[in-house]
Structure 1
Amino acid sequence: MSIRRNWREYVAALSATLITAAAGTTVGWTSPTLPILLAENSPIQTSKDQSSWIASFMILCSVVSPIPASYLADRIGTKKTLLLASIPYIIGWILVMLARNVPTIYVSRLISGLGYGIAYTAAPMYLGEIASDECRGAMATLITVMSKLGILSQYCIGPYVSMLGLASFNITIPILFVLSFSMMPESPYYFLKSGETNQAERSLKKLRGKFFVREELDSMTHLVNEDMKEKGRWKDLITERGNRKGLVILLGIYFTQQFCGSTAIISYAEQIFSAAEGGLGAKESCILFGSVQLLTSAISSQLVDRLGRKPLLLISSCGVGLANIIIGAYFYMKHENDSFVVNLKFIPIVVIPIFIFSYTIGLATVPFAITSEIFPTNIKSKATCVIQIFVALMTFAVTKLYQVVADNLDTYVAFWGFGVLSIAGVIFIVVLLPETKGQSFAAIQEKLYRSEKGVAYEKRDSYTGGNVTIN
């Protein structure tokens, strides 16, 4: 078993991804909290427009932090950068505890967004660099597993405690992250980039649990030396063919991830279930919803290195597209006061978990695995930064616009729009995405640099030092 053989890597990965569990609490927090804030007896009177800003401000502010996070990852290492992400989360929850008005909640969400951007920029880099080739995909999906655990905690705890009680629980997660992750090793790639070979060897020994790691260390050294011959520049993301192709692939996948409607459903889950009138209570539906998310992300972590990245993404995109269309049809009949909809109240309870299963099995998890492996060392931090900014903007757009579209055009329009964009994502994945399962960083780079017209492209082989002609 890979987990048994690589358990030290998984311990480091689980500790690192506690910060994405903290991110999950900030995303899921709005689902049980917004109904409380919008109620007549609300402790803080809040309008619908203000509630949509509370849901989206955190993501909007996460656009700001990926650039400094990528700079810090190169300068001080991904471990220290991740540790810095805990500070905004702790401050954010303290502000929620003290909040007596909506502006204070706005500020708490904005500050938490800084931590969100840092976490999702540095975490894929750290996991990709500490993992063995055979388990890199599974470890990268832990980002999503832990995030879904954080979201589920909000669905299970939030409806039954006060805002103060929920914030008190949430602040313990970044604190636990700091205590555990401080003891984990830094990425060996960071030490090699800094010229600290002895430190890199010590880090690799801790991660692999082996005394002799010289062969793997030599391979890493060749790869880093080759990649770092030229300092990665921002423009290289566009001018270098392989970087450009990798960036287009990931931006397309993340666009599909966001515009399939996942973030809107997670942020407004309790309100959506209440509007659906599906028979099961909104709070209970959310717990079912979050449980499906967590279980499916755990399943995906075991499938991504077995079935591959591309099949899981195709299954996922097809599933969310079909689910969106069906849910949209249900809300359309409800909007038209179709009497037949009385017999179809089971649809939201059945189809939304299918949506979540489909989304989590691929779109929620696999993109992080691809992000961690598709770019060379000299440009990886900058590429991850650009991707995270793009994702943050897309997430903000979906979170903010869902409420606007639902209020002005009705819920069915939003779901049908998500359905069309999901199907477009299927076409994109079929045409452009290569399979990277079980391949080394060097092999993935060769695949990205391959000419589509069959013209030979000569690229230095990072492992052997020889020249490889790729047709």
Structure 2
Amino acid sequence: MLSKGTRNQYFATICANLSTLIYGLSVGWLSPNLELLLSDATPLSSGVISSSEAGWIGSIGTVGCVVAVLICGWVAEMVGRKAALVLIGVTQLASWVVVLFASDLTMIYAFRILGGFAGGGTFSIVPMFVSEISEDRIRGTLGAILSITCNLGILIGFILCYYLDYYTVTYIALAFCILFSVGCMFLPESPQYLITKEKKERAIESLCFYRGEDDQESSKFLSELARFKDTQSSATKDSNGRVQLHIKDLLSKPTLKGILICVIVMMFHPMSGSVPLITFTDSIFRESGSDLPPATCAMIVAAIQLVGSYVSSVTVDKAGRKVLLITSALGCAICSATMGTYTFLNVVGVDLTYFKWIPVTTLSGLVFITAIGIAIVPFIIMPEILDPRVRGFVITWCLLEFHAVAFMVVKLFPTVVEKFGLYSVMWFFSCCCVAAATFVIFYVPETKGKSFEEITESLDSEKKNVPKRTSLDV
């Protein structure tokens, strides 16, 4: 049976990740509804949209993501992680209200930008919040819930949009938004954040909740408080005692190496090919020559992606982050190469009658293997290897990079496929995945079950053993 503290950590993590489920729902909404908006049955009074406009609908959400990373990151640092989560909930609620009353393309763009804002905020704040409330032994498992809820939302979005009408789906999404916004109000703030703001009493209360500790004098409890206090006391402060980021905080060897790792691993997911796959699921399966209906293929892919994220959650604290990243990257390379080869043979006229199962199998394999590693592990690693003093700043810029690359990939995907063929694009993604696996093998440290001090040691071969404190005068 789970301890009280563990139950509280799971509860807070699931509650925070309702925002991720709602974002996944908006992603799942996109593929089937793009086909609806392109058809004569469009719900827009302005009429049928063009293929170019459909491309903008698919990619414009990243504009909101970029804005969210800056705004939500600032709110999280100045007001708190909890306030940033509430902001995300309000934005998600507004986005679905907009789509409920959408009558023209401009309102659909607004829905996508607001939804992108909520998504960018979610992937910026939730991993940070979860990392700060988690114990080392279950930090990876709790971090992987982000992927489970996102993929569950995508699957729910596909199912609802294919079997329910346009407006019913919107009402269901609004109900999820209200549930998330209310739930966030009852979560205690991150104890690590409270310590940085020198709110010691509230930090102790918060840590008691997340650890289920009744004895505030236990060595384990005091040791964890000591770690938070050490980080806060060494930070640069202004004349008013507020923590400031100084250039010297970024120049130590472990910090520089951690930043480099974050910058590179955040490109793994958008460059694996899974992002445009989910965005343009219907058209990709038609292009590949699969006999299965696009709706069926989309739901199969989403379900398999959900299974992959679950596998990641139960293995990330056992197999380790590095193993999952390498396995995932190499698996994606094989799947992309296979899909590219099949599409090429189909284009040149080779008889593939007995191999019609390959598109759905390889693309399902791609999203599954992506989900167990490169789709989620980078978000787990980032808060683990970054010094808390620079964590918010570096994560903000890494997420800006992530969304910029995702935007370019999604926006250029239809154009490049039309000009060079789907097979060329899939082969390119395969090469990117091989490069990703190579980088992980030689440069990414294992962080499974390690404290920040132990991870810092692994990033700095010249660093001496870090003494562990067991008490703190509070």
TM-score interval w.r.t. the shorter chain? Answer: over 0.9
Q: Does 1:380 align with 2:391?
A: yes
Structure-2 residue corresponding to 1:219: 223
Deviations 1:133-171 (A, max 9, x none): 100000011111111111111111111223222222222
Distance (whole Å) between structure 2 residues aligned to residue 462 and residue 75 of structure 1:
30
Kindly tell me: are residues 152 and 131 of structure 1, through their superposed partners in 2, closer, same or farther at Cα, counting changes over 3 Å? same
Distance (whole Å) between structure 1 residues aligned to residue 86 and residue 360 of structure 2:
39
Distance (whole Å) between structure 1 residues aligned to residue 161 and residue 247 of structure 2:
45
Structure-1 residue corresponding to 2:425: 414
Q: Does 1:95 align with 2:98?
A: yes
Structure-2 residue corresponding to 1:293: 305
Q: CA deviation at 1:460?
A: 6.3
Kindly tell me: are residues 427 and 234 of structure 1, through their superposed partners in 2, closer, same or farther at Cα, counting changes over 3 Å? farther
| TM-score, normalised via structure 1 length | 0.93
Deviations 1:174-208 (A, max 9, x none): 21111222212211111211222221121122222
Structure-2 residue corresponding to 1:469: none
Distance (whole Å) between structure 2 residues aligned to residue 305 and residue 26 of structure 1:
30
Structure-1 residue corresponding to 2:347: 335
| TM-score, normalised via structure 2 length | 0.92
User: What residue ranges of structure 1 are gaps of 5+ in the alignment?
Assistant: 466-471
> How do 1:415-454 residues align onto structure 2 when only pairs under 5 Å count?
415-448=426-459, 450-451=460-461
Q: Does 1:130 align with 2:142?
A: no
Structure-2 residue corresponding to 1:14: 14
Q: Does 1:395 align with 2:406?
A: yes
User: Paired residues, what number?
Assistant: 459
1:31 is matched by which residue type in structure 2?
S
Distance (whole Å) between structure 2 residues aligned to residue 4 and residue 407 of structure 1:
55
Q: CA deviation at 1:59?
A: 1.5
Structure-2 residue corresponding to 1:199: 202
Distance (whole Å) between structure 2 residues aligned to residue 420 and residue 237 of structure 1:
35
Whether contact under 8 Å (1:93, 1:170) holds in the other structure is yes
Structure-2 residue corresponding to 1:244: 256
Given the alignment, which residue of 364, 373, 377 partners 1:366?
A: 377
Deviations 1:366-398 (A, max 9, x none): 112112311122111112111111111111111
Deviations 1:71-121 (A, max 9, x none): 221222111111111122111111111111112111221122222222111
2:119 is matched by which residue type in structure 1?
Y
Q: Does 1:266 align with 2:270?
A: no
Given the alignment, which residue of 355, 375, 378 partners 1:344?
A: 355
Q: CA deviation at 1:272?
A: 1.5
Most deviating of 142-151 and 175-184? 175-184
Q: Does 1:33 align with 2:33?
A: yes
Deviations 1:397-430 (A, max 9, x none): 1111111111222211211111111111111111
Distance (whole Å) between structure 1 residues aligned to residue 22 and residue 383 of structure 2:
20
Whether contact under 8 Å (2:28, 2:155) holds in the other structure is yes
In angstroms, what is the RMSD of aligned CA positions?
2.0
1:270 is matched by which residue type in structure 2?
D
Distance (whole Å) between structure 1 residues aligned to residue 286 and residue 170 of structure 2:
24
Distance (whole Å) between structure 2 residues aligned to residue 94 and residue 278 of structure 1:
36
Distance (whole Å) between structure 2 residues aligned to residue 142 and residue 351 of structure 1:
25
Distance (whole Å) between structure 2 residues aligned to residue 20 and residue 330 of structure 1:
34
Whether contact under 8 Å (2:194, 2:202) holds in the other structure is yes
Given the alignment, which residue of 111, 114, 125 partners 1:111?
A: 114
Deviations 1:299-320 (A, max 9, x none): 2101000010000111100111
Deviations 1:43-81 (A, max 9, x none): 341111111110111123211121222222122211111
Deviations 1:20-45 (A, max 9, x none): 11111222221111111122443341
Kindly tell me: are residues 63 and 352 of structure 1, through their superposed partners in 2, closer, same or farther at Cα, counting changes over 3 Å? same
Kindly tell me: are residues 236 and 120 of structure 1, through their superposed partners in 2, closer, same or farther at Cα, counting changes over 3 Å? farther
Structure-1 residue corresponding to 2:269: 257
Whether contact under 8 Å (1:3, 1:10) holds in the other structure is no
Deviations 1:273-323 (A, max 9, x none): 233332322111111111111112112101000010000111100111100
2:288 is matched by which residue type in structure 1?
A
Most deviating of 274-283 and 409-418? 274-283
Distance (whole Å) between structure 1 residues aligned to residue 216 and residue 292 of structure 2:
55
Whether contact under 8 Å (1:2, 1:135) holds in the other structure is no
Given the alignment, which residue of 167, 170, 179 partners 1:167?
A: 170
Distance (whole Å) between structure 2 residues aligned to residue 396 and residue 50 of structure 1:
15
Whether contact under 8 Å (1:442, 1:463) holds in the other structure is no
Structure-2 residue corresponding to 1:314: 326
Kindly tell me: are residues 4 and 308 of structure 1, through their superposed partners in 2, closer, same or farther at Cα, counting changes over 3 Å? farther
Whether contact under 8 Å (1:237, 1:247) holds in the other structure is no
Structure-1 residue corresponding to 2:241: none
Distance (whole Å) between structure 2 residues aligned to residue 128 and residue 261 of structure 1:
27
Kindly tell me: are residues 461 and 280 of structure 1, through their superposed partners in 2, closer, same or farther at Cα, counting changes over 3 Å? same
Kindly tell me: are residues 234 and 92 of structure 1, through their superposed partners in 2, closer, same or farther at Cα, counting changes over 3 Å? farther
Whether contact under 8 Å (1:442, 1:461) holds in the other structure is no
Kindly tell me: are residues 330 and 40 of structure 1, through their superposed partners in 2, closer, same or farther at Cα, counting changes over 3 Å? farther
Give the share of equivalent positions with the same residue, in percent.
26
Whether contact under 8 Å (1:27, 1:267) holds in the other structure is yes
User: What residue ranges of structure 2 are gaps of 5+ in the alignment?
Assistant: 237-243
Distance (whole Å) between structure 2 residues aligned to residue 463 and residue 37 of structure 1:
61
Whether contact under 8 Å (1:62, 1:116) holds in the other structure is yes
Give SS of 2:291's match.
coil
Q: Does 1:57 align with 2:69?
A: no
Structure-1 residue corresponding to 2:149: 146
Kindly tell me: are residues 405 and 3 of structure 1, through their superposed partners in 2, closer, same or farther at Cα, counting changes over 3 Å? farther
> How do 1:54-93 residues align onto structure 2 when only pairs under 5 Å count?
54-93=57-96
1:167 is matched by which residue type in structure 2?
T
Whether contact under 8 Å (1:317, 1:426) holds in the other structure is yes
Kindly tell me: are residues 239 and 5 of structure 1, through their superposed partners in 2, closer, same or farther at Cα, counting changes over 3 Å? closer
Q: CA deviation at 1:227?
A: 2.3
Kindly tell me: are residues 3 and 106 of structure 1, through their superposed partners in 2, closer, same or farther at Cα, counting changes over 3 Å? farther
Whether contact under 8 Å (2:213, 2:221) holds in the other structure is no
Given the alignment, which residue of 230, 234, 237 partners 2:235?
A: 230
Deviations 1:224-264 (A, max 9, x none): 33323223527457523222211111221121111011110
Give SS of 1:379's match.
helix
